[in-house]
Amino acid sequence: MDDKIKVAGVALLGVIALAMATYFLLMPNDRFNPGARVDQGTFADIFWNATDVVILSDVRGVDDATASRNILQCQVDFASSSGMGGKNVTYLSIGADGCYAIDGKHPDTYCFQQGSKAVSIYIHQGNTTSFYSNGMTVGVDANYTFGTCGIKRL
């Protein structure tokens, strides 16, 4: 009797583990995956060695029109900065109605899938910048000063 309970318990745990693994593997990727946190110098090395860069502005859930415009302006400022010279840059924007790329509208997951293929600059509502092994996150709010987003080649 005890052996049957143990086998049933192990089988139940196996089913639960399989269900959880399936859920997390098939779960849609609807957010930026930055990788491990790194310092600014490490990120600079990663960025300068990259040939492909994705700049993604995310205005989902931003209720302040000024902050929303500033997030999009920050993307423009990054795009025109000298550090983008010689890089293959993909520009993406994601809002309440989907992901937009040069070739049109896509599901939200498209933006984040593209971001996982290159070093990414993820611009969102906030006020801090953080550096990671897969890219950087840049928080922008209603107090953004035009021209302050960018990477300069020294």
* Residues 70-83: tens digit of each pLDDT: 999 999 999 999 99
3-state secondary structure the chain: CHHHHHHHHHHHHHHHHHHHHHHHHHCCCCCCCCCCECCHHHHHHHHHHCCEEEEEEECCCCCCHHHHHHHHHHHHHHHCCHHHCCCEEEEEEEECCEEEECCEEECHHHHHHHHCCCEEEEEEECCCEEEECCEEEEEECCCCCCCCCCCCCC
d(CA 3, CA 144): 66
Structure pTM?
Answer: 0.78
End-to-end, the C-alpha distance of the chain in Å comes to 74
132 to each of 18, 35, 43, 67, 85, how far by Cα in Å?
A: 30, 6, 7, 24, 21
Is it the case that residue 11 has pLDDT exceeding 60?
Answer: no
Return the percentage of the chain with pLDDT > 90, whole number. 61
pLDDT per position as a tens digit, 83-113: 999 999 999 999 988 999 999 999 988 888 8
The tokens describing 151, both together, are 């990477």
Instruction: Quote the pLDDT of residue 19.
Output: 44
